[in-house]
Amino acid sequence: MADASNSTSTFTLQGVGASSVLGSKPNQEDRYTVLLPDEFAGHTDSLAFFAVYDGHASDKVAEHASKNIRRLLTISKELRQGNYESAIEQAIQAEEKELLQGFWAGEELYAVAGSTAALVFVNLTRGILVVANLGDSHVLLGEADGADHTSLRVERLTTSHKPEHAGERHRIESAGGTLNTDSGVPRVGGLNISRGLGDLQYKLPLKDIGEQSISGGQEKVCVEPSKKGDLVSSYPSFKKYTLQSNRRYFLALTTDGVTNTMDDETIMHQIAESKHEGMDADRVAAKITEKASKAPSSDNATCVTVFLDGHNVRNQE
C-alpha cells in the first residue's frame, strides 16, 4: 500500500499493507483504516494510525465507524497534545453518540448491528505505540534484532473481551444482564463479545426502553430493569508500548477471521519471513488472509501489516 519515512523520526515506516477477504461469508463486513504521517498535518511529531473493524449483523456500524473515527482523530485536540488514549476514547464515545442519533433518526440497524475495533497509534518520532481494542479483533507485535527474523519475539497487545471472562461477566451481571448459554457459547443476548461499537439495544438508553421499540436482529437479552449500565461496553482496553531504536518491528491488526484460524506465532513468523523474502506489505497481508480463507466455514478475514525499523537497525546490518 505505502512506504513512508521521515528523516527526523526515530522510526521509519518500511511498509504498510492491507487485505480483506470474504471467506465463506456472503458479505464483507470487515473494514480497515490506514492513516500515514502526511495525513496528520500540523503535528510536531510524525504519527501514523491503523485500525480494523469487524462488523456483525450488518456492515453498517463498521462502515460508519471506520470513516467517522478517522475523521474525529485527525481533528482531535487531545491528539495534538500527545494524549493518545484520551483521543481514542473521546473519538469512540463521539462515534457512539452519532450512532444513537442515527438510530433516533430512523437507522434501526444501529441498535441490532455492531462492530469490534482494534486501533493503533504510532509516534515515529518518539517510538511510542498505543493500542486500543473493543471485542475480539487483535493487534499482534513481532520484535526482531536488526535483520534477524528467526528469533522473533511475538506478543498480543490487545485484550479479548468475552462475556464469560470473570471481569466482563461481573460487569454484565452488575448491569442487570445474564449470560445466554443456549448455543453452548456464552453470549450477551446474541453476541459472543462483551465490548464493541453499536449494538445499541444492549446499551443505555435503549437497553431499558423495551423490545417493541427496536426492530428484529440480535437476540434480546433479559435485563433486571432496576440495574443500570451497559451490557455491551464501548470503553476500550489500552496498552502503551515503548519501541527500541535498535529493533525491527512487525505489526499485524487482524479480525477474528484470521486469529481464529492461526495462532499468533504462526501469523507473525509468516509475516516476518515473507517480508524477509522481499514481499511488499500488501502482498504479505494478502498471504495471511488467503490462508485464513481456506479454513472450513471461514469468516471474513482482514489483516493490516506494518513494518517499522528503528534508526539504529541499519548500523547492525
pLDDT in tens, 17-68: 999 999 999 999 999 999 999 999 889 999 999 999 999 999 999 999 999 9
Per-residue pLDDT averaged across 105-124, rounded? 97
Residue-level pLDDT at 224 = 64
Residue-level pLDDT at 109 = 96
* Unique residue bearing C-alpha cell 537497525: 313
Confidence bin at 228 (pLDDT 50/70/90): confident
Take residue 202 and report the three cell numbers written for it: 444492549
- Close Cβ partners of 20 (under 8 Å, ≥ 6 residues apart): 28, 30, 31, 32, 289, 300, 301, 302
Per-residue pLDDT averaged across 151-172, rounded? 96
Predicted TM-score (pTM) of this structure: 0.94
Confidence bin at 9 (pLDDT 50/70/90): confident
pLDDT tens by residue, 178-202: 999 999 999 999 999 999 999 999 9
38 with 4: CB under 8 angstroms?
A: yes
How far is residue 266 from each of residues 251, 259, 289, 291, 294, measured CA to CA in Å?
A: 13, 10, 13, 11, 15
Question: What whole-number distance in Å separates Cα of residue 62 and Cα of residue 26?
Answer: 16
